[in-house]
Amino acid sequence: MKIIRPALFLLIVLLGICAAQSGAPSQSAQPPKDTKQPFSLAIRLPHESVRASLPVDVEVTIKNATDGLLFLDRNWLGSFDVRDSKGRQPLTRRGEIILKHAPLKPGEVRDLPTGGGPPLQLSPQETVTVNLVVDNLFDLSQPGKYTILVHLPDGAGGGGVVKSNAVTVTVVPSQSQ
C-alpha cells in the first residue's frame, strides 16, 4: 500500500499537468493563440561513420520550452524512425515484434520492454542530453547510409508529436568483411 500511494499521487500530478497544458476546449472557431511546442528535440551523432559491427549511438537533446515542469516518458522504444537509402525501415526481429506487432514464431521468447523507469523531469527552460543506441530495434549491420529521426508525444493529449532534426549515419564494412 505504501508503494501504491506515491504512484497514485504521481499519476494524479501528471494528469493535472497534462490537463493544464492542453487547456479547456475552445468555444470559438478561432485557432489557438499559442501553438508553440512544449519542448524541442535535437539529435546528433557522435560519429557520422560507424563500422558495421559497432553500435550506432545517438545523442538526444531535449529542452523544456515551458515555464513549468515537464515530465516525459523514458520509454524510448518506438520513438526512433530509422530508414535506409531506399526509405525502408531495417527492423531487427525484436523491432518487428515491438513496432509492427509481428506474431511470435513457435518457440520464440517474448522479449518485450518492461518500462523505462520514472518519467524524465525537466525544470522550466532546462535542457538535458541522453545517449541512446538505435541498433536494438533496427538492423544497421549492412553498409550504407541510414537516416535517423526521433519523435515523442507532445504531452498535450491530442496525439501531437515533437520531431527532431534528421541525421544521417554511414555504416562502413567491418574490418573482418
pLDDT tens sequence across 40-76: 999 999 999 999 989 999 999 999 999 999 888 777 6
Mean pLDDT of 27-42: 63
**Mean pLDDT along residues 140-169:** 90
Q: Which residues contact 151 (CB under 8 A, 6 or more apart)?
A: 41, 79, 81, 161, 162, 163, 164
Is it the case that residue 29 has pLDDT exceeding 80?
Answer: no
Across the chain, where does the E strand assignment appear? 39-44, 49-51, 57-64, 70-72, 80-84, 120-122, 127-133, 144-153, 161-163, 167-172
Q: Which pLDDT score is estimated for 112?
A: 58
The per-residue DSSP string of 118-165 comes to: SPEEE-TT-EEEEEEE-TTTB---SSEEEEEEEEEE-SSSSS-EEE--
Q: Which amino acid is at 155?
A: G
Query: DSSP code of 5?
Result: H
Class of domain 35-172: mainly beta
d(CA 116, CA 102): 22
Name the residue type at position 131: N
| pLDDT tens digits along 75-108 | 766 688 999 999 999 998 888 887 887 887 887 7
pLDDT of 176 > 80? The answer is no
Domain range annotation of the chain:
35-172
Q: Model pTM?
A: 0.71
User: Residue 28: its pLDDT value, please?
Assistant: 35
Mean pLDDT of the chain, nearest integer: 77
Q: Output the CA angle 121-122-128, nearest 5 degrees.
A: 110
